[in-house]
Amino acid sequence: MTSRKLLLLILLAVLVFVGLAAYGDIRNVGQRIASFPIHYLSVAIVLALLNYLLRFLRWCYYLRVLKIEIPLQLSLLVFLSGLTLSMTPGKVGELVKGYFLRNRAGVRLSSSIPAILMERLTDVVAVVLMGLVGLALLPVSIRWILIVVLTLSGFLTWFLVSKHNERLFQLPVLRRWRDEVQLSREGLRRLTAPRPMLVAVSLGVLAWLSEGLAFWLVLIGLNSEVSALQSLPIYASATIAGAITTLPGGLIGTEGTMLALLQQSGVARDAASTATLLIRLVTLWLAVGIGMIALVVLNRYHLVVLKQE
């Protein structure tokens, strides 16, 4: 990410935060943040960190299934770096993790790309499943969005491993990558087998459930009467909405959806704005900060070429 793009991203984030504060009345939002119980905030941060830990375990599991052997330290740095790279539009920047593995451990891109793709796919499935917990409490339009996203995720999984897409790579423009694509498809077949899918989705659900509970704790700290059964689908719906916009970090889409659903659930405007600000700081921006530190450390990591099975 260039300095100019980073500056624009920071500017967009500041505008979103200022907009949220202004919408909820800056004075009221400021008072709510100042009086927010520190113990609720601390537990929310721990739950956010638990999300990263569970997703890292899934990352390690994927590498093991693909028989990619790298030092645990490097694996952790690459994974954490992806937290910052997820700020790229549509999270496509996370594919750079494949280049990190290639340049620092000699892992072929075609070997690592399946793990990165399946991370995103199982994240979507996990978030949607979490949203289905309180499906009946959501507006009809949101229910349909969750169902459609889950259906599309299933179709995409089938397409990635299906033999029906082989003709696509007969095209002259794609033929040069046929061998690499074939290797990636083999990796995808391994990761979409029943056992790996069950393990990955289970870890994903637990990971996103921890963030959903962090969101609920923030609401409790603001004396909101929204239950866990209501807060989990609200958080899931906002996360999916942010992903659909493809804006960096789901900015605007996530905040807007969260704000609207909270108010629809009876949360006061200033409390809804404060909750949205706090949970985004605890989840998104905490992740970005950790990822940036990991990137700095990773850039100093010496190139070590390892053998793969």
What pLDDT does 184 receive? 78
> Taking a C-beta distance cutoff of 8 angstroms, is the pair 168, 182 a contact?
no
What pLDDT does 85 receive? 77
What pLDDT does 133 receive? 75
> Taking a C-beta distance cutoff of 8 angstroms, is the pair 98, 113 a contact?
yes
What pLDDT does 59 receive? 98
> Is the CA virtual torsion 47, 48, 52, 58 positive or negative?
positive
Give the orientation angle of helix 253-264 with respect to helix 228-245, to 10 degrees. 150
Q: pTM of the prediction? A: 0.87
What pLDDT does 248 receive? 82
Burial class of residue 159, CB neighbours in 10 A (0-12, 13-18, 19+):
exposed
Domain ranges in the chain are: 45-298
Distance CA 305, CA 184 (A): 20
What pLDDT does 196 receive? 96
Integer distance in angstroms from the first to the last C-alpha of the chain? Answer: 33
What pLDDT does 4 receive? 72
Q: Which residues of the chain have pLDDT under 70?
A: 1-3, 5-6, 89-92, 134-142, 160-182, 301-309
Distance CA 200, CA 195 (A): 9
Exposure string for 93-122, b = 16+ CB within 10 A, e = fewer = bbbbbbebbbebbebeebbbbbbbbbbbbb
Please give the single-letter amino acid code of residue 255: E
> Taking a C-beta distance cutoff of 8 angstroms, is the pair 219, 231 a contact?
yes
